Structure 1
């Protein structure tokens, strides 16, 4: 069963929600933080929908469930670029449902909500006012060349797994 909520209803619910989408290193998280502080709003940083991850299952959200089904981290790292790209796109599509549900919850609080999101621009056109969406970009070379310079735990963990894999190949 699939439940569809008409876009006019979501646009109404999200009338105080502002979305920022874009590439890594573009400053989305920083902008969301600054806007939420300036306007005494709610900040939805990366993965703000994780409180709903217990609702997913391997059949309906296979991409979001990947970490439960993978054999080991070498399998994760050893995927082809096409496999990785398909997984990223699939995760984004599956996470959209979780993000929308979480945003409906937050919108009820009556404050402005500022969202660092990966919801596709096509979906954002349907659920949000045109003037409530910003797309921030940085040069691709910057996000590729400097990706692992970030100190967040997830990126450093992946870098460690890559190094471990390379050492095992030598």
Structure 2
């Protein structure tokens, strides 16, 4: 079954999307916004295991692929790894949209996710999405150093050749996000680029103004 874009947008009218590129600050900013405005955060990465359990290998093969160990996982070529990541995101999106429709009927939901400009155009209005971005080079160190990604850090550190595994990850993430980064910056969407001088408070205030969260929410 295929739903038209206008139908999806109507049913997601209470969802605000915080998306962008890796290490742009999506998780930090969405949680700080939720704390300040008493909102629900829906993090698609946290939902993956639940979605995987109800998925079907015939329809979601990437989500159900099993790897023997870290060496097999990181031993793929950059192109193979990239395609698998893209397929995972595409397959999970159906589950995500249904969750968001259910959760947002009577409340505002902040969705911490990975949308491209093209996907944003289909799912929401510019006033309900912000892109938080970071130049996509050497992303893996920042990713592994995050407390919420300790499992991934342990996994990559279990490889026989950790430096090679990290190089593969960096090349894969750069390959996926280089064009996205430029597409976002060249779009009419609201975006904030993370730099060494960025602060959480400053970024939150900019996103608040864009979403008009400084104003009291109208009852739904």
Compared with structure 1, are the counterparts of its residues 128 and 48 closer, same or farther at alpha carbon in structure 2 (3 Å cutoff)? farther
Q: Output the CA distance in 1 between the equivalents of 2:51 and 2:26.
A: 22
The residue aligned with 2:56 is 57
CA distance in 1, matches of 2:55, 2:115: 18
Q: Cα gap change, 1:144/1:156 in structure 2, threshold over 3 Å: closer, same or farther?
A: closer
Residue 126 (structure 2) pairs with residue 130 (structure 1): yes
* Matched residues, number: 161
Structure 2: runs of 5 or more not aligned: 163-220
Q: Check if 1:81 corresponds to 2:78.
A: yes
Q: Which residue of 2 aligns with 1:166?
A: 161
Is the 1:57–1:65 contact (alpha carbons within 8 Å) kept by the matching residues of 2?
yes
Higher relative contact order (CA 8 A, sep 6+): 1
Shift of 1:135: 0.9
What is the alpha-carbon distance in structure 1 between the residues aligned to residue 138 and residue 24 of structure 2?
9
1:119 counterpart (115, 119, 144): 115
Q: 1:27 aligns with which of 18, 25, 28?
A: 25
1:8 and 2:3 are equivalent in the alignment: no
TM-score (norm 2): 0.67
CA–CA distance in 2 between the matches of 1:34 and 1:85? 31
1:71-122: CA deviations, max 9, x gaps? 33321110011100011111111111111011111112x1111011013331
RMSD after superposition: 2.0
